[in-house]
Amino acid sequence: MLALNLSFLSAQATSEQSYSRAEQLMGCHFSITVTAENPTEAKRYLDLAILEVKRIESLISSWDEKSQTSEINRNAGVKPVKVDKELFKLIERSVSLSKLTDGDFDISFASAEELRKAEESIPESSDMGKIRKSARAIGFRNIILDKNAGTVFLKTKGMKIDFGAVGKGYALDKIRSLLIAKGVSAGRVDASGDICVWGKQLGGENWKVTVNDPFDQRKTLAVLPIPNGAVATSKKYHVSIKTDGQHHSHIIDPETGLSPKGLASVTVFAPVAEFADALATSIFVMGRKAGLKLINQTPGTECLIVDESGAVFTSKNIKINQP
């Protein structure tokens, strides 16, 4: 499993100090670090950040029956649902990302309900036919957006949207924007390995991320700077479900409803976390060659890929020493 660990340099003399807080939010581990003049100021910033995550979760969660996302899913094939402008724009951007990746990123992957249920219970086997049937409900082209009315309509019964492949990144970006607006000069937010940063470390250096070998956590593949940007990783968990004798991870190929094969981890660097989050998932689905081609054609983005054999591949602007 790929771990992303930030390496801090020694702080120089400054009136500001670093303050951190960790909490379980959005189903994952959040660690938030800010610079502030004193503990009282830091507490105010950290409280605001955590409240922002909870606000976003209440809006986009597909598990909260009261959320607007759940209301959209309940009305699939029935009627359009009017939503807040913020959610509408997030869905609109998600559809644009689906077009960019030829459907390898698709928030309607949640339609593969049989696969999701199988993943949760982790059975020894799951009905392949049911999984393929549920996958037929996947399709971003059946997400109908009416900008004038502010409505979202899932055209096909059984369709569901979920922001698992982009929601953490969106939350990171919102926290960063909020804290910058409040005057926080530097900080980092880490949501189970998806990270965004701004400003510099107290020592005046850029933030750095250590990328470890997914097969050997003791082995470092690279230590890379992330100046005022974000990094996200998609990786194949060891826990998986089993269908027709084959093991599959939690990542879903929208075309089949099953797990893609070939890669062990994908780490993407981008200006914003939402984009990095979505691209990491997309590349895991589309594969190494198509993924590197996409990254090399997308300004401001880089990636590091480890395939299932342990081979390491990087985009054109990342240079690492390999044995």
Q: How many domains does the chain have?
A: 2
The residue among 211, 191, 197, 210 whose CA lies nearest residue 271 is 197
pLDDT at 265 over 50: yes
pLDDT tens for 139-197 read 899 999 999 999 999 998 889 999 988 999 999 999 999 999 999 999 999 999 899 99
Q: Are residues 82 and 170 in the same domain?
A: no
Q: Are strands 187-191 and 143-146 parallel, antiparallel or unpaired?
A: unpaired
Indicate the DSSP class of residue 111. G
Q: Are residues 286 and 146 in the same domain?
A: no
pLDDT at 6 over 80: no
Tell me the CATH number at 247. 3.10.520.10
- Per DSSP, the three-state class of 292 is helix
Local confidence band at 237 (pLDDT 50, 70, 90 cut-offs): low
Residue 214 to residues 47, 210, 236, 304: CA-CA distances in angstroms?
A: 34, 12, 9, 12
Q: Are residues 187 and 125 in the same domain?
A: no
Q: Are residues 220 and 302 in the same domain?
A: yes
Q: Are residues 273 and 128 in the same domain?
A: no
Instruction: For 44-53, give one letter per residue: b (16+ CB within 10 A) or e.
Output: ebbebbbebb
Q: Are residues 117 and 203 in the same domain?
A: no
Q: Report the predicted TM-score, pTM, of the whole model to 2 decimal places.
A: 0.84
Mean pLDDT in residue range 267-288: 95
Return the pLDDT at 191: 95
Task: Detail the residues annotated as belonging to a binding site.
Answer: 165, 277, 281
pLDDT at 260 over 90: no
Q: Are residues 173 and 297 in the same domain?
A: yes
Tell me the CATH number at 96. 1.10.3980.10
Indicate whether 27 belongs to any domain: yes
Q: Which domain holds residue 138?
A: 68-154
Indicate whether 63 belongs to any domain: no
Indicate whether 222 belongs to any domain: yes
Return the pLDDT at 12: 39
Question: Considering the chain, what is the average pLDDT of its residues?
Answer: 84
- Per DSSP, the three-state class of 301 is coil
Task: Detail the residues annotated as belonging to a binding site for Mg(2+).
Answer: 165, 277, 281
- Of the residues 89, 123, 154, the one at which a domain ends: 154
pLDDT tens for 221-230 read 999 999 889 9
The span from the CA of 97 to the CA of 280, in Å, is 12
Q: Are residues 131 and 256 in the same domain?
A: no
